[in-house]
Structure 1
Amino acid sequence: MKPFRTLMASAVAVTLLALPAMAEKIPLSEISRYLNSLTTAQSDFTQINPDGTVSTGELMIHRPGRVRFEYAKPDASVVMAGGGQVAVFDAKSNQPPEQYPLSRTPLSIILAENVNLGRARMVVGHQEVDNTTHVVAQDPAHPDYGTIDMVFTANPTELRQWIITDGAGAKTTVILGEMRKGVRLPSSLFSITLEQQSRGR
């Protein structure tokens, strides 16, 4: 029986060697380093809304604390964060923008001055899925604000998309195009007051 056992062991070893290597998930420390290294970035984006409709546009990030979503025509709406507030400028409305604190959205995790995904109770999911690393994070003090599921690829580490689930369970997916880093983005792009003035609201 010994030769049979040896043969079986060899067959198992060959089979294991033939299997594709499982990709390892990117460590949280590396993802924190990557996010902290982002100062300015610009990218096209595709957004899948909670009702299944799809929007496109251009995204501009100016860390810490600033982001601007410019939606493509015919929409021409803008969602922006600056000065600790998020403002939603609806192109179809003549009313002032809807505003709420940036801290109440999980997107604030990416825009924080110091991203530390190692904080207790911040990360509630961290796994490898189809050669991408998914990190699900929340505000440890306010899990009721919702979560952000960030999707990264490795070598080099790159943010590819995120899915925000709000406190009511509605999901909004943002898929990024090629991200251009270190671009010049004037502070005026993130001024809610200037945007209001330019729109006459």
Structure 2
Amino acid sequence: MHALKTLFLALGVTMAALPAAAEKLSLGQISAYLNELQQAKGDFTQINDDGSISTGTISLRRPGMARFDYNPPAKALVLASGGEVAIFDKKVGSAPERYPLGDTPLSIILAKSVDLSRSGMVTSHTYDGTSTVVRARDPKRPEIGTIDLVFTGNPVELRQWVIRDDSGGETTVILGELDKNARLPHTDFSIIRAIESLN
């Protein structure tokens, strides 16, 4: 199951076509974008720490919910809801591994209210002429790792993220175009429902 835990650490191969260069996005603009991002669904490509590549579909329902459906051969499902994360190995069909959502940097973008200007949260805020990159962490729990969020402007869009864990592992998730009008019922994110479906 270690490989599946690595899969989850991506919770952001080539980036989607980027818009024309824009100015560096402020932390306020990025926070507002994330707070306004209520529901979204789209494809993703994941580069794992060992260099392998996985693909699948991501669904987000903020606050607090995410779903990663991995394509074969991975056949994994990762759910975040109710303050925890569950990692299912569909090949085995056994009970999932479960972790507190707060133990992962992904909790930063799934929070009910995102405020990247909070003291100690952002450790780096850069612009390369095309993308704005923000490195964030939970200032109360820096040991859980960091997340690099990559945004483009005009309009503001989250393009990818890179999660680094406390052991130095690095996993990247690259997002395709997100459908922000997707209908995503709460049941799609239910860990209990997914466990019951194993029986």
Name the TM-score class by shorter chain. 0.7 to 0.9
1:29-75 Cα offsets, whole Å, 9 max, x none, are 00000000001000100000011100000000000000000001233
Classify 1:91/1:130 alpha carbon distance in 2 versus 1 (closer, same or farther; 3 Å): farther
Map residues 73-112 of structure 1 onto 2, 5 A cutoff.
73-112=72-111
CA contact (8 A) 1:106 1:145 kept: yes
Pair 1:34 & 2:28 matched: no
Instruction: Identify the residue that residue 158 of structure 1 maps to in structure 2.
Output: 157
TM-score after normalising by structure 1? 0.86
The one-letter code sitting in structure 1 at the alignment partner of 2:131 is T
Instruction: Give the structure with the higher percent helix.
Output: 1
Instruction: Identify the residue that residue 13 of structure 1 maps to in structure 2.
Output: none
Segments of structure 1 that go 5 or more residues without pairing to the other structure are 1-21
Instruction: Identify the residue that residue 132 of structure 1 maps to in structure 2.
Output: 131
What is the CA-CA distance between 1:23 and the residue it aligns to?
4.9
1:165-201 Cα offsets, whole Å, 9 max, x none, are 011110010000001103110111111010011122x
Distance in 1 separating the partners of 2:44 and 2:62: 18
Q: Secondary structure at the match of 1:188?
A: helix
Q: Considering only aligned residues, what root-mean-square deviation do their CA atoms show, in Å? A: 1.1
Of the two, which has the highest radius of gyration?
A: 1
CA contact (8 A) 1:39 1:182 kept: no
Distance in 2 separating the partners of 1:145 and 1:137: 11
Distance in 2 separating the partners of 1:59 and 1:85: 17
Instruction: Identify the residue that residue 170 of structure 1 maps to in structure 2.
Output: 169
Distance in 2 separating the partners of 1:74 and 1:149: 27
Segments of structure 2 that go 5 or more residues without pairing to the other structure are 1-20
Taking only the aligned residue pairs, the percentage that are identical comes to 53
Instruction: Identify the residue that residue 54 of structure 1 maps to in structure 2.
Output: 53
Pair 1:142 & 2:148 matched: no
Instruction: Identify the residue that residue 198 of structure 1 maps to in structure 2.
Output: 197
Pair 1:115 & 2:114 matched: yes
Instruction: Identify the residue that residue 44 of structure 1 maps to in structure 2.
Output: 43
What is the CA-CA distance between 1:126 and the residue it aligns to?
0.2
What is the CA-CA distance between 1:97 and the residue it aligns to?
0.4
Distance in 2 separating the partners of 1:130 and 1:174: 21
Distance in 1 separating the partners of 2:36 and 2:181: 10
Distance in 1 separating the partners of 2:50 and 2:92: 20
Instruction: Identify the residue that residue 182 of structure 2 maps to in structure 1.
Output: 183
CA contact (8 A) 2:94 2:198 kept: no
